[in-house]
Structure 1
């Protein structure tokens, strides 16, 4: 019983599977992307 419920929870939330290292990489990539978008918008305004 417990095993099948564990599988359901794992399938439901992929975020739980992420390690802290992967999470940091993801956040770094997202902030880098936002910075790039900000630069492009700033360049277009100039």
Structure 2
């Protein structure tokens, strides 16, 4: 699962490959902005 996150500081897209073992992670953009990303996985 891959997440495209848009940086509100510089406007670039941050690509993050989600990990089910780590549902909440911190992603850092190239410009230095830090984001907390929560990955919710829905199983059927």
- Bigger fraction of residues in helix: 1
| Greater relative contact order (CA < 8 Å, ≥ 6 in sequence) | 2
Does the TM-score normalized on the shorter chain lie above 0.5?
no
Q: TM-score under structure 2 normalisation?
A: 0.19
Normalized per residue, the structure richer in strand is 2
Q: TM-score, normalised by structure 1?
A: 0.18
Larger Rg: 1 or 2? 1
